[in-house]
Chains A and B, each alone.
Chain A
Amino acid sequence: MDYFTQQLINGLVLGSIYGLIAIGYTMVYGIVGMINFAHGDVFMIGGFIALITFLLLVSTGLTAVPVILLIVILVSMAITALYGWTIERVAYRPLRHSFRLAPMLSAIGMSFVLTNYSQVAQGARVKPIPPLITGGYTLHESAAGFVIQLSNIQIVVVITTIVLLAIFTWLVSRTRLGRDMRACEQDQTMAALLGVDVDRTISMTFVIGAALAAVAGLMYLLYYGLVDFFMGFVAGIKAFTAAVLGGIGSLPGAMLGGLAIGLIETFWSAYFSVEYKDVAAFSILIVVLIFMPTGLLGRPEVEKV
C-alpha cells in the first residue's frame, strides 16, 4: 500500500509534466488541425534555455532560490515562446493551404532541425545540474521501514502546473484572445469575416503552447536534474498520447490524459518492467486511437465531404 501511494505521487508529478506539453499539442490540433511534431523538441529547447539561464544566474553570485526560479521561468518561457512563433512562421504558415500531408512532413523536418541544432550548439552529452530544490516531507513510515516521501520539488511541480492551468483556463474562457481562438477552432473563414485576425490567433496559439512546454522543460530539469538533446522525441510522443487520450482539442482533457499517462507509465515501471515502459505508452496510444479516437473528453469528429 505504501509502495502504491509513493508510486501514485511519482506518477502524478510525471503526469503534470506530460500534461503541460500535451496542452500545446491539443491547442494546435484544435485550431490548425495538424500534429505539431516539433513540439516535443520545443520542450527540449525550453529545458536547455532554463539550464543556461540558471547557469548564468548562478555564476553572477545570486543565491536566493525563489528569485532564481522566477527569472529562469520567465526567461525560458519568453525565449521558447519566440521559438514557437518562429517555427509556425517559417515552417507551417506557408503550408496552411497546401495538401494535407505537407504540414506534417514539414513538422517532422522541423523536429530534426531542432534536435540537431541543439546537438550542434550544445553538444551531445547529458547536462546535469545540482538539485536546486531539496528536502521534503515524510508522509508515512510503515512498520517495515518503507517511507512515503513527498519532496519539495514534487510540490513545486504540481503547484506550478495547477497555477498555470488556472491562468490558462482563464485566458481561453474569459479573454478576447481566448474567444478568438475558440472562434478559429470552429470556423476559420467565418472568424476572419467577423474581424478575427486568424494569422495572429494561430501565432498566439503556438506562442502559448511553446511557453507551457518551456515550463514543462524547466520542471523536467528540476525534477530529473538533467537535459539532453534527444529528450524531446519520446516525451513528445508520450505527451501526444496524453492529448489523444484526453480527447484532442480539449484542454482539461490534455491535463487528464497527461496524468493518466504519467500514472500508467509509473505503475507499469513499478509493477511490471522498466524496459518496456515506453512500449506500454506507445501501445496505449495505438489502443486509444483505435478504440476511442475521440478520447475521454473529446467531441466526435464529423467528416465533411
Chain B
Amino acid sequence: MDAQAMHIANGIVNGPVSAIFVVVAVAVLAVCVVKARADLDDRLAPMAGLVAAFIFAVQMLNFQVLPGVSGHLLGGTLAVILVGPWVGALCVSTVLIVQCLLFADGGLTAIGLNITNMALLGTAAGYLLVAGLLRVLPKNPGGLGVTAFIASVVSVVVASQGFVLEYALGGTTQLSLPWISGTMAGTHVLIGIGEGLIAATTVATVARVRPDLVYALRRFRKPVVLEEAAA
C-alpha cells in the first residue's frame, strides 16, 4: 500500500489534479532552470551529473518495510548540499523523467505529481533545513553530516505527505486519509533514516577531502586573498 514502491503510476490520481500538478511542476522547474544557469559552471556541471547518477543508483535500492509496502531513497537532501537547491531540484527531476521514460517507473501522466513530491517538496524542505541548521551547527564535516541526516529524514516525510495531499485532491479510490497519511509517514521515517545515513556519510567524506565541492559550505568560505595582491 505505498505509492512510492515505485513512483505514482497512471490512474491513481485523476486527470485534472494530475494536470494541475504538471503545470505546478513546469512553472517551478522553469524558475529552477533560470536560477541554475548562474550556478552551473565547470565545476558544478560534472558534479550535477554525478549527483544525478548517484541518486539514480540509490533509488534502485527498495526497502521492504512490510509485505507489499516498500519505498526507496529520494536523494533530494544530498543534491541540495552538494549542488544547491536549484540544480538539485533539476537533478532529481531528471532522474525521475529518465526513470519514467526508460524504466517504466512512475506513470507518464503522473510525472507532475512525482516531480512535485520528490524533486520540489523534498528538495525545498531539505534546503530550508540545511540552510537553517548550518547557522547553528559547526561548519565542519561532522556538523554537515548531522545536518544531512536530519534534513534527509524530514524531507522524505514531507515528500511522502505530498502524495497524501494529491490523493486527497484527486484520488480515484476511497481510502481513509488519516490511514494513508499515517502509513506513508511511518514508512518514510524508516526510509528517511536509511537515506540520512547514506547522505551523511557521503557528504561528510566529500567535506573532509574536497570541501571546495560542497555547495552548502560556499557561503561560509573565506575569500581567498593572494598575498602578492594584498601586499
Whether A associates with B in a native complex is: no
